[in-house]
Amino acid sequence: RSKEKGGNAYHYYKPDMNKRSMQRLNLEIHLRKALKRGEFDVYYQPLVDLSNGAVFGMESLVRWRHPEWGLVSPAEFIPLAEETGLIVPIGNWVLKQSCLQNKAWLQMGYSPLIVSVNISAIQFHQQNFVQIVTEALEESGLAPDQLCLEITENIAMNNLPYITETMQRLRALGVRISIDDFGTGYSSLSYLKRFRVHTLKIDQSFIRDITSDEDNAAIVTALIAMSHRLKIKSLAEGVETKEQLDFLITQGCDEIQGYVFSKPMPAPDFELLIKENKHLYVN
């Protein structure tokens, strides 16, 4: 992998460049142009409240529609966007777009929804991050409690004073915070006391074989119980089957997200869903 980054470092041909680094370079060049060319889109995946089966919000998931390559999955370009710093403008765009869309649906008369936006560590560490969030709220007119920021444990467990300060300022602003992919990061849980987060999103790797793997079933049961004791909502990610759903309901999980209800979809399709006021059948 080439060590040179940014500037014109990539603009000359290196004969010893292997195929993989050529592909990376190609991807980076296209990624740099994608924002200007309007190739990004936000998909929305419903978040379901298990107490009544209603859709209470949605997660924003960025999609890149390249004119020749078609839809590129975030798993393929987010890591490179993070390495190159491009995640900052891309992430800011997703944040603003998500706030504008959520406000638009409110103004169209749909009941208030919470939009949940993934925030990369690189974005969170920006000095003006709280300012960026404030601007997204002001420019869209969205109420702060209709925005949730999804951060990872690796950000939250960091004990640096400015992280604590940023978390406090975000709380003061009134936005919600959830911990994404919970259980896959560092195991220190002391931050759960330090920052009062709203939701723990239990990673889908634990949910996948919840009905066949007793260890994962035990972990999920314990995480749900722990979140209840701490008065934090538990949300299970990647719920695909009725069996998984039944298990989660039995354990008292608060919320779910997954193909069992719906895949992420473009804004017009999500709007049809809330128009029908679709509920998940919960017995």
- Where along the sequence are the contacts to Mg ion (CB under 5 A)? 118, 150, 180-181, 237
Chain residue at closest Cβ approach to ligand C2E: 258
The 3-state DSSP class for residue 47 equals strand
Q: Which residue has the tokens 């000095």?
A: 127
Give me the least distance between CB of 244 and ligand C2E, in Å please: 9
First-residue to last-residue Cα distance in the chain:
53
Please pick, from the candidates 189, 259, 266, 277, the single residue that binds ligand C2E as defined by CB under 6 A.
Answer: 259
Q: Which of 53, 74, 85, 252 binds ligand C2E (CB under 6 A)?
A: 74
- Which of ligand C2E, Mg ion, none lies near 75, with the C-beta cut-off 5 to 8 A by kind? ligand C2E
160 binds ligand C2E (CB under 6 A): no
Q: Which does 240 bind (CB under 5 to 8 A by kind): ligand C2E, Mg ion, none?
A: ligand C2E
d(CA 172, CA 162): 15
Cα–Cα dist 182/206, whole Å: 10
Tell whether residue 240 is a contact of ligand C2E (CB under 6 A): yes
Residue number, 28 or 59, with CB nearest to Mg ion = 59
Instruction: Rule CB under 6 A: say whether 186 interacts with ligand C2E.
Output: no
According to DSSP, the residues that pair with 124 across neighbouring strands are none
Helix, strand, or coil (residue 137) = helix
85 contributes a contact to ligand C2E by CB under 6 A: no
Distance CA 252, CA 222 (A): 11
| Interactions with ligand C2E, residue window 192-231 (CB under 6 A) | 204
Return d(Cα 255, Cα 238) in angstroms, integer: 12
- If contact means CB under 5 to 8 A according to the sort of partner, which of ligand C2E, Mg ion, none does residue 86 touch? none
State the Cα–Cα distance between residues 45 and 58, nearest whole angstrom.
5
DSSP reduced 3-state for 187: coil
Pair of tokens at residue 127 = 């000095």
Cβ closer to Mg ion: 49 or 181?
A: 181
Residues 6+ positions from 253 with CB-CB distance below 8 Å: 50, 202, 220, 224, 234, 235, 236
Choices 131-139, 168-176, 188-196, 256-264 (CB under 6 A): range interacting with ligand C2E: 256-264
Taking the complex as a whole, how short is the minimal distance between the CB of residue 15 and ligand C2E, in angstroms?
34
Q: Which of residues 13-52 bind ligand C2E (CB under 6 A)?
A: 45
Q: Are 214 and 251 in contact (CB under 8 A)?
A: no
Contact 69, 76 (CB under 8 A): no
Nearer to Mg ion, 10 or 47 (CB): 47
The verdict on 181 binding ligand C2E (CB under 6 A) reads: yes
Using rule CB under 6 A, residue 118 touches ligand C2E: yes
Tokens representing 239?
């719920």
Please tell me the total number of residues recorded for the chain in this structure: 283
For ligand C2E, the binding residue among 34, 78, 223, 253 (CB under 6 A) is 78
Contact residues for ligand C2E, defined by CB under 6 A: 45, 60-62, 73-75, 78, 87, 91, 94, 118, 120, 180-181, 204, 237-240, 257-259, 264
